[in-house]
Structure 1
């Protein structure tokens, strides 16, 4: 243990951390700009009449419209501050916290790479970020230092390895490897894939993409730790991300990973590749590491390893019931389409009627709600409250298609969802998936 702690505290070149900080900040600036350019702030956090906050965070509410726009403007400023190194630790901490608040407001907008952004910002907030290529170091030369503790390097590498490990393991299943789904569905609607169909049939392209993607995601990240194989592994991962970013709609995630993976190269790579100023022999020692940092990181990675495994505690297929699906790095492995109808029953009179809530949800909210059981439950409670009748019962007829299968019932239509509550226990009212012939 002493040897391990000594190795974690050994000084390494701080150039890698400066480059990582700048790359993450630049990608986040672009990500926030996309919210403004695409009108997502209004569409996601101003216009909706109903929100689906995460379990345990039902008390969270969006700010007034002007407040939400101001919040995203502040996020852009914080991302820029992180990029240029102006109070970067504070910028990382505030960006991560505020962005987490935005994501907790509505589960329908959950994306794995937004979760990764929150994790990375939290980790960066623990690290000495001002040493190299920062406005802080230029403003206060005493803050400049050419080395950082080695745990900063190992922490960022470990976080990325966790993402790739569980993303790759999630692809080792029949839909992905045997049926080549949902890749076949996605490529069928991709303009880039249709252009390639002249050279490669769609079925062949789907099989190559499925098997190649699983192989690259599982095998290349560990090979990044082997110095001789690192350039080839990096080339494979860059090719994978560029191809997936070109053929599929994944936002900034592929470009974030292409830049983040540079952390696996030797920590002085920016000095050698970009001709940054060489480390000064008189550079101050790396900042001391607080005693609580390493135990906190140990807890963080224990949680990171446990969360993706929790779906094994639930019966059934996680792609179907989605219990334990979020925060598990199940990246782009399923496509679901659904239809849902809700019915109310007045227990005093026995009268039954259909509930219509089309005017309450955006198209994106409705699409996600009709395939995710916890959102169906939450919407059933919204509809029950909207009737204004005490003790009203709400049942749902929901049929969902998973990865191109024929639609199957998802929710037990006999269960009064208005009487059910959300939580971490298995939801017995989710029907098991019946395999189609």
Structure 2
């Protein structure tokens, strides 16, 4: 049964079309990051970046190195699109994008994580087996079918993402429109639509349509009777997000996924009429079956488990941020804070406190990270400790931090009596110096 479900071959037109679109979009993501100034603001101008904790070796290349880095990524994206050395090009882009993703958190976005997962998945799929330079150079590589698991994996991944995104919105600040109101307040200056975005009905739409869309879009696309309507709704939803939130390629990538939900015949007819349509429906058990099944199971277990880990960590994740990343908690909260760092030389008998001028070290984006997020605060304290160690000084770093979530009352985030520079970061549970409230 499982062999027939996973290894029955189906027409591969959808995967080939998606590869072309995906390659174009990831090339646009890389090249666009250069020309929009994202690389400059995020990776070139800062003196250092806030990498994922434990990956301190990941820092931007010096000089103009990051521009070349992203240019190479753009080339890899184009090679994926045209199918030249597809597998190696996809692996190359994946490695470079993983470097960017884990290198910095000041421009963190859940969509960046999704792109990393999709890149990993695409390295495993036979997406270069038709309409590619590889096939033109070696016709023996041509295939008109693929095993069904290829499309099932992508659909399962999307279902996990959307479902968790919907469930995460079921909390008071989202349901009473507080988050939507705060999101739209910063967009009042938009021409034509700015005033409409401040209306109460707009906030209701954003709050409840967001929940329903995320929860139902995958089932509606899977069901033939509602598929076309769901597709039209998707176009409206993703274009709205693109215009209002300006989140790069991701609304268009989300629309590109539609090729996996429409019938194989329709996708073939619309995009690849010259290609022979595969109808044999053969069940071909691959030699890699014994490896594939546990790998797929492990992948899905990890994807299902990561977003719920915050339930096993003390404190409210909206406040502590512990368990927030890699959990599809998208646009759920706004954080603002006032944080001060104080250095104490351990060899100073008077224990004088020296205030740190954060602006000497941090960019504007980094200042926002360090002002309200515990991991950024901890990493900056470690940075200060290392800098003073090079001067022969052993220091303590204390922090006073007042933080507001979703415009609520400011509260103390960090225990001001704890030497943050000399504490260890707890990866898997809570950090006691992050204060909790009932």
Q: Report the TM-score, using the length of structure 2 for normalisation.
A: 0.92
Q: Does 1:215 align with 2:212?
A: yes
Maintained 8 Å contact 1:401/1:408: yes
For structure 1, which segment, 314-323 or 190-199, has the greater mean C-alpha deviation from structure 2 after superposition? 190-199
SS in 2 for 1:28: helix
Structure 2: gaps of 5 or more residues = none
| Separation in 1, partners of 2:385, 2:198 | 49
TM-aligned CA distance change 1:67 to 1:247, over 3 Å: closer
Once the two structures are overlaid, the 10-residue window that deviates more, 12-21 or 348-357, is: 348-357
Root mean square deviation of aligned Cα: 2.3
Partner of 1:235: 232
1:282 positional shift: 11
**Is residue 293 from structure 1 mapped to residue 292 from structure 2 by the alignment?**
yes
Change (3 A) 1:207 1:284: closer
How many Å apart are 1:319 and its aligned residue?
1.5
Alignment of 1:108-147 (within 5 A): 108-147=106-145
SS of the residue corresponding to residue 432 of structure 2 reads: coil
Q: Return the offset for 1:353.
A: 2.2
The alpha-carbon deviation at position 53 of structure 1 amounts to: 1.6
How big is each residue's C-alpha offset from its partner over 1:311-370, in whole Å with a ceiling of 9 and x where there is no partner? 111111111111011111111111111111111223442212212231111111111121
1:248 is matched with: 245
In the alignment, which residue of structure 1 is the partner of 2:431?
427
Question: Given the alignment of the two structures, is residue 404 of structure 1 paired with residue 402 of structure 2, yes or no?
Answer: no
The equivalent of 2:344 in structure 1 is 345
Evaluate the alpha carbon distance shift between residue 267 and residue 202 of structure 1 in structure 2; reply closer, same or farther with a 3 A threshold: same
In 1, the alpha carbon distance for the partners of 2:339 and 2:42 equals 22
**In the alignment, structure 1 residue 175 sits paired with structure 2 residue 170:** no
Deviation at 1:268, TM superposition (A): 3.7
- 2: CA distance, partners of 1:282 / 1:308: 39
Distance verdict in 2 for CA 1:280–1:314, change over 3 Å: closer
Mapped contact 1:217–1:237 kept (Cα < 8 A): no
- Residue 166 of structure 1 contacts residue 328 of structure 1 at CA under 8 Å; is this kept in 2? yes
| Distance in structure 1 (CA, Å) of the matches to 2:281 and 2:88 | 22
Aligned length: 431
Is the 8 Å Cα contact of residues 146 and 284 (structure 1) preserved in structure 2? no
Give secondary structure in 1 for the equivalent of 2:263: coil
**1:305, 1:106 → 2: CA distance?**
25
Rounded Cα–Cα distance in structure 2 between residues aligned with 1:390 and 1:363: 28
Measured after TM superposition, the shift of residue 194 of structure 1 is 7.1
Contact in 1 for aligned 2:76/2:90 (Cα 8 Å): yes
**Superposition pairs for residues 15-414 of structure 1, below 5 Å?**
15-178=13-176, 180-191=177-188, 195-196=192-193, 202-279=199-276, 288=286, 290-291=288-289, 292-348=291-347, 349=349, 350-387=351-388, 388=391, 390-414=393-417
Unaligned runs of 5+ in 1: none
Cα distance in 2 for residues equivalent to 1:315 and 1:194: 44
CA offset at residue 244 of structure 1?
A: 1.8
Q: What is the CA-CA distance between 1:21 and the residue it aligns to?
A: 0.9
User: Distance between the aligned counterparts of 1:47 and 1:197, measured in 2?
Assistant: 32
